[in-house]
Amino acid sequence: MTTNRIAFQGEPGAYSHEACRSARPGMEALPCRTFEDVIEAVRAGDADLAMLPVENSTYGRVADIHHLLPESGLRIIDEAFVRVHISLLAVPGTTLDQVREAMSHTVLLGQCRGFLRRNAIHAITGADTAGSAKEVAARGNPSLAALAAPLAGEIYGLDRLADRIEDRQNNTTRFLIMSRHSDDSRRAERMLTSFVFRVRNIPAALYKAMGGFATNGVNMTKLESYMVDGVFTATQFYADIEGHPEDANVARALDELRYFTSSLDILGVYPADPLREMQRQASMAD
């Protein structure tokens, strides 16, 4: 049984909501309070898919997500790159010189420091971007604005005092679309495989584990480490590689990885977002 719903964290109008509308326009977007609630909505069958942000090109990794993915029981079926355009939103009739404070999620505040500094606007941390817009609308105070997507301004009846105020014009957030069931049968020109692993307690285990990818010509686009259960000696690694586990070179590299690891869990096999290649070509041109 399907619900035709895709769950996201935040209030209506959040960037995750925008990602849902862009990547799955035919599905109903289901707002959830926390990332854990998003995952549980899919696990419980209240939604078919989860839209989860994992990293931003300006701010970096989204906290907590990598801890949640391995334990979620869900599998990655797609990635979605969303350009983040930030607007300064205020109650109708407000002018820019009236704004003294701007509220938003801490991740977004870090993406427009230059604009805030130039306009002497003090940053205030809110629960999330769209939630901040909702609160600004409820307070009705012209000295308080929100930093959020233009969509949030439409939903909560706020004026857009300034648009595209992000520090970097290539500001992009990468989302993972997750499901209860994996779909490893798909093939595209560029496939990605995501997995988590822990290395065995032997000298140079990580170095040896990574060697298989180099010798087999497998490009690793991401490798991140994080502590498990708050213990410094328990480290788990998250990795993205280009290719499909059934590709001969990827299969060989994963076999070598298994030899040096105590655990390996493939989180998903999915097509690369077209914007990934566009950004790669742009960076090579620079």
Long-range contacts of 104-107, Cβ-Cβ distance < 8 Å, separation of 24 or more: 104/129, 104/132, 104/146, 104/147, 104/148, 105/129, 105/132, 107/56, 107/59, 107/62
CA distance 234 to 192: 26
Question: Is 260 among the catalytic positions?
Answer: no
CA distance 137 to 11: 13
- CA torsion 237→44→130→54, rounded to 10°? 10
Cα 60–Cα 62–Cα 68 angle in degrees, nearest 5: 145
Q: Burial, 90: exposed, middle or buried (Cβ in 10 Å; 0-12, 13-18, 19+)?
A: buried
Which residues have a Cβ under 8 Å from the Cβ of 94 and sit 6 or more positions away?
142, 145, 159, 161
CA distance 34 to 40: 10
CA distance 190 to 209: 23
Query: Nearest Cα to 197, choosing from 186, 208, 182?
Result: 208
Locate all alpha helices (DSSP H) within the chain, ordered by sequence.
15-23, 35-43, 65-72, 106-109, 113-118, 129-139, 150-156, 205-215, 248-259, 274-285
Looking at 129, 172, 173, 193, which residue is catalytic? 173
Looking at 8, 81, 115, 175, which residue is catalytic? 175
Question: Is 175 among the catalytic positions?
Answer: yes
**Number of Cβ within a 10 Å radius of residue 243:** 22
Which amino acids are annotated catalytic? 173, 175
